[in-house]
Every structure is written in C-alpha cells, then in structure tokens.
Amino acid sequence: MNVFERIKQRAARWPGRPAIHCARGTLTFQQVIDAAEQVADDLVSSGVKAGTGLGISDHNSAEFIIAMLAGLRCGAVVVPIASNLTTTERDALIEGVGLHALLCEGEGERSIFIGTRHFHLRRMHRAEERIAPHIAEAAFIRFTSGTTGTSKGVVLSHRTVIERVEAANKGLGLSEHDAVVWVLPMAYHFVVSIMLYLYFGTAVILCADFTAQAIAHCAARFKGTLLYAAPTHIRLLVADRAVTSLGTLRSVISTSAGLPLGLCAQFKERFGLAVSQAFGIIEVGLPIINTERSDEAPEAVGHALPDHEVAILDDALHPLPDGSTGLLAVRGPGLFDGYLSPPVSRDQVLRQGWFLTGDLAVRTADGLVSIKGRRKSMINIAGNKVFPEDVEAVVNAHPQVQASRVFGGAHPLFGEIVEAEVVLAPGAQLDPEDIVSFCRERLSAYKLPQRIHFVEALAMTATGKVKRV
C-alpha cells in the first residue's frame, strides 16, 4: 500500500488534532492531508507520475512535509535535498540520482503554491524511465552520512517505510497524545521520524531556530512531550543558564553522534531528565533505543527493539560472546530495499539475513549495546587497537575543550599514532602538553594523542556527525 494512503486512513481517526506546530500557527491532520492532495494534483498535472524521481528541497517547514507527502501520493520516488547545499552540490546530486524533476523555491517551469509560499517545479528533460527500477514500489532515496567515504543512495519502498515506522514505535511508544520538538534537519531525518509521527498521530513542533531558548519556548508553548535532538542541541541547552525548564517534556532522545557522559550528567542535573541515546542507520531504521537504562547506562544505545535482533560478530561473521567487541549486525523489519547506483538489491548485501552496520560494538549479557566506533576509523598502533571515540571522550571532558576529532596518523615504526584536532572553548588558552597531561591520567600510554592541532571548527557531515578521514 502507498504510505501516504495509509497515513491518510489513520489520520481519519484524529482529523482535528494538531499535526504541525510552527511559527505561523498550527495545521491539523485534515489540513495537512488536504494540502498534500492539492499539491499532488498539481504535480500530476505537471507530469509527475509513478516512478518519477522527484527531488524536494526546503528548510525545516510545514511546506516541506506537505511536499514530501504529495510526492508519495503521486507514486513518485522522493529524494529530500537539504536547502543549504550549494548549487554545485545540488546539481551533482540531481545528476547522480538521475532526477526527473526538482521542487523548490526559485526558478522553474511551473509554480506550485504550498502553504503560504510559492514553489517551482523544474523539469530535467531526461528520458522518462522509472528511477530505481530494480526496486518494486520505491518511495524514498536518501544518502548515507558518508563519514568515512562516499555516500550511497539508499532506496526504501512503501512497504519498507510502513514496516520501519511500526517497528520503531514499539520502542518510542508515541501516540496522538504526544508532541515532538523537532530540531534535526528534515532532509536527513524523515522516514523513521517525521513519517512515524504522522503515522501515529503525533504532532511535530518546528522551532524557528535552534537556540536553547527557542527549543525551550517551543516545548512550553506547544506542550512538547519528546525532544528528538543531536548532542549539539543538548550542549546548547546545558550551556544556556537562562533556560531553567523544559516545560512538559517527559523524554529526550539524542541521535546522530555519540553523547559525552559528562554532558548526560549535566543535563540530568539541570533539567531532571535522562537523555536516551538511539542507534539509527538509514539502511535499517531505528533498531536500538536506550529508553530503559538511560539513567544507569547513559553511554549505551540500548536494547534491540522487540522486532529486531542484534549480533556481535567477528571478522568471519561468527557470533562473539557477551562482553566482546566486534562488528554490529542487525536484522528485522524495515531493512532497506537496495542501493541506487550501482543497482544492488537488499539480498545481495545481507549476510545470512544480517545487515553489517560497519560499527564496532559490545553487548552485555542482558542485551545492552554500546557503540565503540566505526570499523574503518579504528586506529592500529603496533597491533593495539584504539577507538577514536574513546580518546575523544577524554579530550572533550577537559573543561576548556569544546570538541575534538581523533584520527590515526602515519608512523614509520608503529604504523599509526593518535592525532587530534581540538576546538577550544571560547576564551580558552591551552597548549598541546596541557591536553596530553590531562589525558595521561585517564588513558593508557599508547592511546595518548601524539600530535595535537588546534582548529577553529571540525569538519562535519550534513547530519551533524564528525567527518572521519
């Protein structure tokens, strides 16, 4: 079934309830459905049809959500595109995917009114072949983060989207009585978040900006129950002493990158809420969430959700005993349908039904999973393995350090040594030895940074993760 039609059916249970809160007001579920159907009619009359590759570009907005729903109703394969890409980056994505059309503000052949704004549909005038023809009923294409290499186009079908949101909500437990304060970029977080909220009748609260005070204001004004954020937003809230309350929030989930333990403790002390980490990956969805043990084990990403299984495997893909560090593998409903280019199906990627995430992790006897780092970014020092995230956690704990990136540097004798890029807190003054001395009390000798580079900012991916070399 088309996922838009499923959302429309479910929205009939709560037509008058708020679906989207934003600066200009509130839209009910019925208003969102009606607007999406009107935009879909305009798209169809402009030549958009089943299998059309349709790029949609905008900032976080009600219009972006409506446009995405409209594209799905048409049967198009929608590709969310961040609005802050340069023209060169956007054009490269359009050509790389082989899009047939782009809906955005700016120039185009057809003006389409969405909400309170005029968008334009730009046709690419390429052969009208179905995009991702190797995937039946393709719905979405989204690209991987690309922290350690070239990003890949991940294709999701309508059935996969439905399976994914139903499985994820067994961990989130959201309903029509909830409202999510949304601060992450929609172009990179949509299927198992925005689509899930609409599917279960949960209101989406869009903040006008992402300052701590704006987040707190939105949570209070619209009676938010969940903040879904990245470590950056958690850090902003802790740092702003003017923010003393988060209103009706009952839970906070952090995703996209690891959360420093010290920051978890500071947040809990300030606001009385534990931050739950979640493990999300575009090929799988949201299979692991730490909703049960975030107080006692904030460093963990949690237990596998009811419909998912996780395994820790060695290089030969054999299961490792509890407490061992190995490759994290996941299986369950909502797994991606394939990669776009070169065209690869899911079955060609899975190993005995498992998706190999590329993350190294450890699991306790009761199933609690903690991520150690990316396999590709692990540093090998004369046979000693170092996870950059472990060293970063210590460096970042220095009171005068704002952020860091740890990586392996070439060494003629040891193969690699630990190097670090460090961003100092505003007004801080340190030299490399200050940081090494701080680390020496907390890390084994071989894990100590041997070269430290002070930088103004770290290279980040579009999803807010530290970009690994």
pLDDT in tens, 195-242: 999 999 999 999 988 899 999 999 999 999 999 998 889 989 999 999
Q: Looking only at Cα atoms, what is the longest distance across the chain?
A: 68
- Say whether pLDDT at 469 is over 70: no
CA distance 183 to 302: 22
Q: At which residue do the structure tokens 């809230």 appear?
A: 237
Asked if 3-11+24-131 and 164-333+346-375 have one fold, the answer is yes
Cα 3 from chain centroid (whole Å): 20
Q: Given pLDDT bands bounded at 50, 70 and 90, which one contains residue 143?
A: confident
Residue ranges of the domains in the chain?
3-11+24-131, 164-333+346-375, 378-454
CA distance 393 to 391: 5
- Say whether pLDDT at 341 is over 50: yes
Q: What is the pTM of this model?
A: 0.84
**pLDDT in the model for residue 140:** 97
> What end-to-end distance do the CA atoms of the chain give, in Å?
41
In this structure, the chain runs to a length of: 469
Mean pLDDT of 392-406: 92
437: enclosing H helix or E strand: helix 432-440
SS (H, E, C) 273-295: CCEEEEEEECCCEEEEECCCCCC
Strand-pair partners of 305: none
Closest CA to 138 of 95, 79, 193, 186: 79
Q: Take residue 419 and report the two structure tokens written for it.
A: 């190097």
CA-atom Rg of the chain in angstroms? 23
Write the CB contacts of 28 (distance below 8 Å, at least 6 apart in sequence). Answer: 15, 16, 17, 18, 19
Closest CA to 219 of 275, 178, 190: 178
- Fold category of 164-333+346-375 in CATH: Rossmann fold (3.40.50)
Closest CA to 348 of 358, 359, 338: 338
Mean pLDDT of 41-49: 95
- Residue pair 112/118 in contact by the 8 Å Cβ criterion: yes
Q: Where are the alpha helices (DSSP H) in 85-136?
A: 87-97
- Fold category of 378-454 in CATH: GMP Synthetase; Chain A, domain 3 (3.30.300)
> Mean pLDDT, the chain, as a whole number?
91
Q: Take residue 367 and report the two structure tokens written for it.
A: 């199933």
The sheet carrying 401-411 orders its strands as: 401-411, 415-424, 451-454
Query: Which one is the CATH code of 3-11+24-131: 3.40.50.1220, 3.30.365.10, 3.60.15.10, 3.40.50.980?
Result: 3.40.50.980
> What are the tens digits of pLDDT across the range 81-122?
988 888 888 888 898 899 999 999 887 778 999 988 999 999
**pLDDT in the model for residue 149:** 47
- Say whether pLDDT at 146 is over 80: no
| Omega before 342 within 30 of 0, i.e. cis | yes
CA distance 283 to 336: 5
What burial class does residue 288 get, using C-beta atoms within 10 Å of its C-beta: 0-12 exposed, 13-18 middle, 19+ buried? buried
- Say whether pLDDT at 389 is over 90: no
**pLDDT in the model for residue 150:** 57
